[in-house]
Every structure is written in C-alpha cells, then in structure tokens.
Amino acid sequence: MSASHGNTPAAWIAVAVGLLGFLIGSVAMMLDPISWFVFWIGVAVTVGGGLLFIVLSKLGFNVESH
C-alpha cells in the first residue's frame, strides 16, 4: 500500500458523499413509518459517491498534492 493511500481529494470527496448517503438512508429507516423512497435516495447517493470517485480519478484528482 502506498503512503498516499486514501489521502487524495477524490477519495475524501467520495467518502464524504458516501457517508451522506448512509446518513440519509439511516434517517429514513428511523422514521415511523419507514420512508422507503428516502431510503432509496440514500442508496442512490451512496452509489453516486463511488461513481464520483471514478470520475474524479479520471480527471486527475486521485493524486496527492504536496
């Protein structure tokens, strides 16, 4: 594993978006009754974080700045 593993702008942004998706999904599961629509929005945001990482990597944001 390299010293810069996970310390790139692409990784930080993707993780932040993924955490936001999990937060949205978690809040939806705590509602009474469960809001499945909001839950699936959270799932979509989480998947979007992974896709965002791929796009940002191809744009060159997956390189640690010094």
Does some domain include residue 2? no
Which of 9, 1, 3, 2 shows the shortest CA–CA distance to 63?
9
Does some domain include residue 3? no
Q: What is the pLDDT of residues 28-37, one digit of tens each?
A: 999 999 999 9
Residue 41 and residue 10 in contact, taking contact as beta carbons nearer than 8 Å = no
> 52: domain range?
9-58
Predicted model pTM: 0.85
Predicted pLDDT of residue 63: 81
Does some domain include residue 44? yes
- The number of folded domains in the chain is 1
Q: What is the pLDDT of residues 1-35, one digit of tens each?
A: 566 567 899 999 999 999 999 999 999 999 999 99
Does some domain include residue 63? no
